[in-house]
Amino acid sequence: MVAIIYSILWILVAVKLADRKWQRYYPTMLFAAIGNLLYELICYEYQLWQMEPNGLPLALIPMLLLIMIGMPILTWVYLSWYPTGRGLLARAGYILLFTAIFVLLEYISVKCGSITYHNGWNLLWSLFFDIVMFIILRIHYRKPLIALILSLFYIGFLIIWFDVPFEKMK
């Protein structure tokens, strides 16, 4: 149920705050959705974190809402207000603001039973992941190829660090 509430909230935030010229962000919105889908494929049988149905009829619904609504809309809102032309401190603060929002929503989701952690993952890892994710999303918006290369290295690091077995990947 939390996934539905978050999806509605993200849509409302986008209607109110996001740049109406969403097409310019579309490639990065797809990149974010595909990144989440890739996690679901790689960690299909070896979850690090998992969205739970939490009252919904199918376990697939929360994951699909995140992939198809949450990540693209989050990316659209995030890039719409990114502080270009300002100093490094303003950009770092902006990334930390979105990271804090994301970590808070995840914390609430964990407390509500909508997200569970597995195989060594925890909220601290999510914090670290979110910081990197927001940096890479911005890089993708400006330089997609560089973001793809950085993402491959980051995915490789996480697979090695969390010892994700190849036979568990889909």
Q: Per residue in 114-169, pLDDT tens?
A: 889 999 999 999 999 999 999 999 999 999 999 999 999 999 999 999 999 988 77
pTM score, whole prediction: 0.90
**35 band by pLDDT with thresholds 50, 70 and 90:** very high
- Which is more confident, 44 or 170? 44
Q: How far apart are CA 54 and CA 26, in angstroms?
A: 30
In the chain, where are the structural domains located?
Answer: 2-9+24-168
Q: How far apart are CA 39 and CA 42, in angstroms?
A: 5
